[in-house]
């Protein structure tokens, strides 16, 4: 690992900030711009590693979510009134206890446009999270976790790296079957490829368990019972405070107490994690440093999220275009310019050749 490598937490903060920004708008132009920004940064700074190929899967997942949302709007309808009827489906009569739900009926353009806006917002959120999976090394991210979260972090890292390994195994076996002139598609090909893939996954799991056991995984230090109880109380109370503070910030009546409760909960949770880290005495070999590049990358994402928060309060009509009456959305200038700040990592982050794995 060179001194020019970027801290993996910076990539996660950048991508999560873009995801938060996507939740503040239903304007399809801004959402498309957020997706384009994440795609450009991934194309410019994605390393050549198996775990870095997951961005395409998140793109397909976002497209599937968008299509499912449109299908639900067609089948179940929506209470939004509409004047532009596209098609009328046969309506299924439902019992009285299912009042408020309908199957079939009129499908209007307003309903489809509203469903498209909402589905695109969720798809943009998923794609932004996919950018973090493609840019941040899971093993390096695990090194940066607090000691209290080490066991949970290992489980998450194993889960994140398991799927790309399965995909690589399937591609390798299908290519081998094609070279031998055997079928690799259909139910027969799936069954004959699936068994070797599962066998390889089982062998990898056994080898991983043996490696973790030889390195002392799961062994904890002895701490007094009072410290354990204090750790549990701080962590649980802090998480409840974070939930209550977040709810207060999202409601109109909780603006006065939301931020103090959120800060107090976050402080208590961090104190609990610090105390919990005493049970996991482990050292870090060549830990990642949080340098100026990491501040620039994470700060650019935070600036995008903050700008869209302000824009949603100052001009909600521009960030949430209406569908009744049906009008074309317009691109707000300064929120769009703020979204372009998310391109900064493509220029300040180190090139992929310098984002090496720790030895």
**HEC string for 246-304:** HHHHHCCCCHHHHHHHHHHHHHHHHHHHHHHHHHCCCCCCCCCCCCHHHHHHHHHHHHH
Q: How many CB atoms lie within 10 A of CB 317?
A: 10
- 188 with 49, same domain: the answer is no
- For the stretch 135-193, pLDDT in tens is 887 767 766 666 666 666 666 666 656 666 666 777 777 788 777 777 667 666 666 77
The structure tokens 């009008």 sit at 327
- 86 with 15, same domain: the answer is yes
Model pTM above 0.75: no
- 101 with 1, same domain: the answer is yes
Report the interhelical angle of 109-135 vs 55-76 (nearest 10°): 160
- 11 with 131, same domain: the answer is yes
| 237 pLDDT above the threshold of 70 | yes
- 91 with 63, same domain: the answer is yes
Mean pLDDT of 222-226: 75
- 138 with 10, same domain: the answer is yes
Distance of alpha carbon 47 from alpha carbon 92, whole angstroms: 52
Last residue of a domain, one of 256, 279, 302: 279
Task: Let me know: does 18 contact 24? Beta carbons within 8 Å.
Answer: no
Mean pLDDT of 197-212: 72
The whole-number pLDDT of residue 354 equals 47
| 48 pLDDT above the threshold of 90 | no
Distance of alpha carbon 181 from alpha carbon 169, whole angstroms: 18
Would you state the structure tokens that stand for residue 279, as one six-digit string?
């049970």
Per the structure, how many domains does the chain have? Answer: 3
- For the stretch 128-150, pLDDT in tens is 988 988 888 776 776 666 666 66
Residue 104 DSSP SS3:
strand
Would you state the structure tokens that stand for residue 10, as one six-digit string?
């910076």
- 179 with 213, same domain: the answer is yes
With the C-alpha atoms ordered 292, 298, 304, 306, is the resulting torsion angle positive or negative?
negative
Would you state the structure tokens that stand for residue 211, as one six-digit string?
């490696």
The whole-number pLDDT of residue 83 equals 79
Would you state the structure tokens that stand for residue 177, as one six-digit string?
């079957």
Last residue of a domain, one of 195, 219, 243: 219
Task: Let me know: does 358 contact 143? Beta carbons within 8 Å.
Answer: yes
Distance of alpha carbon 76 from alpha carbon 106, whole angstroms: 10
- 39 with 134, same domain: the answer is yes
- 50 with 161, same domain: the answer is no
Domain that holds residue 30: 1-144+287-359
- 83 with 128, same domain: the answer is yes
- For the stretch 269-286, pLDDT in tens is 888 777 776 666 666 666
Last residue of a domain, one of 175, 204, 219: 219
Greater confidence (10 vs 53) lies with 10
- 41 with 95, same domain: the answer is yes
H or E stretch covering 88: strand 85-92
- 54 with 164, same domain: the answer is no
Would you state the structure tokens that stand for residue 82, as one six-digit string?
């509409």
């Amino acid at each position: 690992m060179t001194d020019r490598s970027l801290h993996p937490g910076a990539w996660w903060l950048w991508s999560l900030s873009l995801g938060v920004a996507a939740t503040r708008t239903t304007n399809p132009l801004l959402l498309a711009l957020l997706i384009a920004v994440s795609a450009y940064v991934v194309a410019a700074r994605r390393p050549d590693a198996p775990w870095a190929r997951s961005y395409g899967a998140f793109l397909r997942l976002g497209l599937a979510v968008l299509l499912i949302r449109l299908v639900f709007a067609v089948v179940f309808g929506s209470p939004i009134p509409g004047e532009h009827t596209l098609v009328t489906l046969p309506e299924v009569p439902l019992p009285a206890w299912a009042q408020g739900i309908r199957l079939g009926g009129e499908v209007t353009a307003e309903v489809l446009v509203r469903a498209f806006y909402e589905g695109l917002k969720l798809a943009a959120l998923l794609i932004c999270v996919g950018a973090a999976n493609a840019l941040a090394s899971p093993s390096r991210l695990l090194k940066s976790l607090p000691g209290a979260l080490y066991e949970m972090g290992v489980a998450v890292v194993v889960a994140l790296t398991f799927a790309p390994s399965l995909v690589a195994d399937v591609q390798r076996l299908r290519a081998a079957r094609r070279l031998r002139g055997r079928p690799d598609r259909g139910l027969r090909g799936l069954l004959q490829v699936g068994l070797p893939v599962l066998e390889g996954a089982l062998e990898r799991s056994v080898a991983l368990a043996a490696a973790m056991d030889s390195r002392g995984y799961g062994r904890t230090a002895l701490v007094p019972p009072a410290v354990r109880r204090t750790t549990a109380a701080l962590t649980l109370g802090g998480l409840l405070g974070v939930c209550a503070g977040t709810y207060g910030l999202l409601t109109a009546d909780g603006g006065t107490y939301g931020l103090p409760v959120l800060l107090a909960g976050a402080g208590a949770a961090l104190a609990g994690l610090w105390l919990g880290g005493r049970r996991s005495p482990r050292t870090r070999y060549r830990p990642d440093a949080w340098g100026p590049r990491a501040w620039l990358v994470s700060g650019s994402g935070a600036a995008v999220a903050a700008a869209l928060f302000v824009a949603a309060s100052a001009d909600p009509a521009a960030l949430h275009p209406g569908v009744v009456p049906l009008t074309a959305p317009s691109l707000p200038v300064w929120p769009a310019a703020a979204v372009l700040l998310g391109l900064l990592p493509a220029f300040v982050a180190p090139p992929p050749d310098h984002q090496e794995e720790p030895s």
